[in-house]
Structures are given as C-alpha cells and as structure tokens.
Chains A and B, each alone.
Chain A
Amino acid sequence: QQQVKQSPQSLIVQKGGISIINCAYENTAFDYFPWYQQFPGKGPALLIAIRPDVSEKKEGRFTISFNKSAKQFSLHIMDSQPGDSATYFCAATPLYNQGGKLIFGQGTELSVKP
C-alpha cells in the first residue's frame, strides 16, 4: 500500500519528441504528488507537483496528468531536449495527514538523443 510503481525504467527519446513517464499508487491517503529531476552527482530537484483535486498541471514543457479513479499519474515532457537527460522520480505522500514522508518511485533514466 505504501508503494509507488514507476515505468519505464529507462527511456530514449529523440530531440523534439515527447517523453512520457507513468506512475501508479495504491494508498488513497496520498494527497500530494511531486516529480523530481536528478542529474548525476546532484540531489533531486523539484520539477512540478500536483494535488488530487486537479486533473492536469502544466509548467512550461512539463505537464502532470492525474487520474484519481485509476490512481495513476504521469509526466509528459514536450519538445524534449538533450538537457532534459536525467533521472526522473515520481513521489507521493499523505502530506496533509502525516506530512514529511515522501514515497518515491524507482526512477526513470531519460536519454534525449540530439
């Protein structure tokens, strides 16, 4: 129930293409879903986040789609660029109930080919 399942494990996309990473969860107490981007040798950096009362959130080239009934959410990176090559982690937390504890997916290593 505490797991967040992320797929695919790795993804290769051509420059200008759309990168799509999917996550699924079981715990209905989760109420905050952030995505983090991590470059080698760096800590994860917050990319975009969504609450379950919203079905979609867009920030620049990054969009989160959220399906509450299916307990799934996904990250879309439009017009993918080589600089987007990094590892992406979805996460979930019962923020307003327990606070603090982020449950992370296993990560997706994205490679954008020029």
Chain B
Amino acid sequence: EAGVTQSPTHLIKTRGQQATLRCSPISGHTSVYWYQQALGLGLQFLLWYDEGEERNRGNFPPRFSGRQFPNYSSELNVNALELEDSALYLCASSLEVIDTQYFGPGTRLTVL
C-alpha cells in the first residue's frame, strides 16, 4: 500500500511570492493534516481537513490556507512568503478522525 505522498520535494521561492504544496493521502484515508517543522520550533499543527471541510486550524496567519479535493488529496497555499516560512511542511493522513496519523516525507520550502 502506498504511503502519503507529497510534491514537490523541494521548493525555492523568494519573499513575497506564493507557494503551493500538494499531498495525496493513503488510499481510503479521508482526513488530511498539515504541519510545519521549522528549525528549532519542532512540529507545529497548521490545518486539518476532513471530507472536504477545514475542521481545525493552528495558530498561523490567514496567508496559510488550503483545501481538500473530492479525491481527498490536499493543497497547502502560502501567500506573501516571508523568510521565516522556510521549513519542512509535512502532510499526514488518517483513516478516521480518531485514528493514527501517518506522515509523508515532506516538502522542504526555502524562502530567499
């Protein structure tokens, strides 16, 4: 069974640009979660989507947004990029809401 996949692996942008990160959950999983892993800050919860709806949001500004598509894949958009947005962005999926979260390999975003 294929795991959670994310694309691209690496993304380099300049300050002020927009970044789009993509995630495909494990087949059959309906919940998708996004986390930011910045150096020295650990893993921070960003967003949770379930059945196409945003269910919960972490303490991040509105320029971090996303959506979940009918096939349960998800997209994270970061607008007006700032230098401190440089981080590893991890996507996770779970079969049900109250279930184990399985992580993808992440997208490394670098903002210059």
Per-residue CB contact flags for chain A residues 44-67 toward chain B (1 = under 8 Å, else 0) read 111001000000000000000000
Chain A residues with Cβ below 8 Å from B98 are 32, 95-96, 99
**Chain A binding site: helix, strand, loop or mixed by DSSP?**
loop
Chain B residues with Cβ below 8 Å from A98 are 56
Number of interface residues of B (CB under 8 A): 24
The stretch that binds A, out of B12-20, B41-49, B69-77, is: B41-49
B58 within 8 A of A: yes
**Chain B binding site: helix, strand, loop or mixed by DSSP?**
strand
B-facing residues in A18-50 (Cβ within 8 Å): 32, 34, 36, 41-46, 49
Chain A contact residues (Cβ within 8 angstroms of B): what range?
20 to 34
Asked whether A104 and B55 contact (CB < 8 A) given A43-B90, A45-B103, A99-B98, the answer is no
Interface residues of B (CB under 8 A from A): 4, 31, 33, 35, 42-45, 48, 50, 55-56, 58, 90, 92, 97-98, 100-106
Interface residues of A (CB under 8 A from B): 32, 34, 36, 41-46, 49, 89, 91, 95-96, 98-107
- Additional A-B contact list (7), CB under 8 Å, known A100-B48, A103-B45, A107-B43: A42-B106, A43-B104, A44-B90, A49-B100, A98-B56, A101-B56, A102-B101
